[in-house]
Structure 1
Amino acid sequence: MKKTLWAAVSMITVLYLPGSNAQKQDAAHVDGLNGMLTINANIVETPCKLSIESLNQDAMLSSVSLREFRKVGDISQAGQIRLIFDDCMPGSLLRNAHQDGALEYINDQPSVYVQLDSEHDIVDKSLFRLHGDVSGVGLRIEGPESVRLIPGVKSKVFNLSPGRNEFFLSSYLEKTSAGPVRLGAFWSRINVTVEYH
């Protein structure tokens, strides 16, 4: 929840010239001696900010053996993606506490939703599509507590602590039903959106 305070300040500036009352009255109607200045401001409170070191990252998976992908659903060893949140402020914020989607409020605990936007795999829409020479696998990404992140879908709420937080995502290659795995190099570009609550 963002808290926004709108402020509008109006100030009138008058150039003061010493002299008689008659001169003062005449000066009140002279162009260029009077004016008005209007200032509008927008004060915003954000519960956290994404650290500069987390804005652009290259997540590297180590080389994966073809033997790890014998059947559909087999996954590789995990690679890690680290997001750092700075200056997280306490507040009464929302939490998804239960698998059934029930909500509860927790005092003094900032929360975030994460959404990963990228193309989904052609065969399995819960995986991220890989580009390059490889085929037969997609990219699986999980958040804390092994919560699966689906391309273009907002995650459940993740809770943070006041102050600095490290938030880890795990990435895996997963065998799909698109035929045998073809060896090769691959890449995937994913945009991360963080919504504070």
Structure 2
Amino acid sequence: MDLTKHCQLCDHQKVDFKTGTYCGLTNRKPEFHIKCVNAKFDSKLENEISNINIDYEGILKIKWRSYINFIAFSILGTLLILAGCYIGLFLFKNWNYGHKYDRYLGSASVVLIFGSILFVFPIATKYLSHYINNFKLTKAKKQNLDKVLGLYNIKYNINISFPKKSSDDDYIEVDLKIKK
């Protein structure tokens, strides 16, 4: 485990762009085995627990919306490709060289197929890949947090209430109880 994960929760942590994370007591990079005897978890701990858990619960809230968007746009893209193929097959069977509407239908067929491939399917995968990437990242942060706190026998209970409307993102209620 990266020793700086302990420091991110400790009040003694100092950060310098040149040296990175170091201990404010020793003025050196963290050098301990398993856990730090000088760790002080007070002011930063509650904020870190809240932020990491808010991010994690927020990602879990968009799970089904991401899957539904993926499925809906995939179905739409497939239907557009099928419509383009159907128009193309219709034109192949009934092509009239002198008729200008056949050229328009041919163009529409190509636009439907390639438009779906180039625009609709990427939109479908964008929502799902965004969810998967953020879920992996926030899950790893939460697991690291819980692992570090477990080493120091710190437990917490947290209840998070998100606002009903998405415009009220600034007001997320957090009820956090830390047991040291």
**TM-score exceeds 0.5:** no
Between Structure 1 and Structure 2, the one with more strand by share is 1
TM class by smaller structure: under 0.3
The structure carrying a bigger helix percent of its residues is 2
TM-score norm. by structure 1 comes to 0.19
